[in-house]
Amino acid sequence: MEAATPILIVEDELLIRMAAVEMIEDAGYDAVGVSDAETAEHFLRERTDIRLLFTDIDLPGRDGIALAKRIYAARPDIEIVVTSGKHRMSDDALPDHGSFLPKPYTQEQLLRVLAGKLG
């Protein structure tokens, strides 16, 4: 049996993070949720198997765009999806292969973006 693709979710709002983890796990991925950029960076140093970073823009401390850029610089193999309910941006404002998904998103919208990134 093939292992599920691991995805890291960075979302400071607990209920939104829990919902995103559930949506992603229901689709057969391995989802891990954390609440801030510092924890995400630590986690990514420990888990080199993470294939995709799904992060909110508005995080405590460092914002999700800065996090995405730092992660992309260190691990260009990781796919990046950025989300926000307050900001709107084009994909070209993100690191090379990043995508933007506006909130609120449905499970279908989220999974379509993930499938496009992970094949």
pLDDT digit string (tens) for 1-17?
A: 456 899 999 999 999 99
The residue with tokens 């941006």 is 89
pLDDT band at 109 (very low <50, low <70, confident <90, very high): very high
- With CA atoms as reference, report the closest residue to 8 among 115, 114, 87: 114
Q: pLDDT tens digits, residue range 47-90?
A: 999 999 999 999 988 899 999 999 999 999 999 999 998 988 87
Q: What pLDDT, on the 0 to 100 scale, is given for residue 2?
A: 57
Q: What pLDDT, on the 0 to 100 scale, is given for residue 62?
A: 85
Please list the alpha-helical segments (H only) found in 1-119. 14-26, 37-46, 64-74, 107-118
The mean predicted confidence, pLDDT, of the chain is 92
pLDDT band at 91 (very low <50, low <70, confident <90, very high): low
Q: Which residues pair with 49 in a beta bridge?
A: none
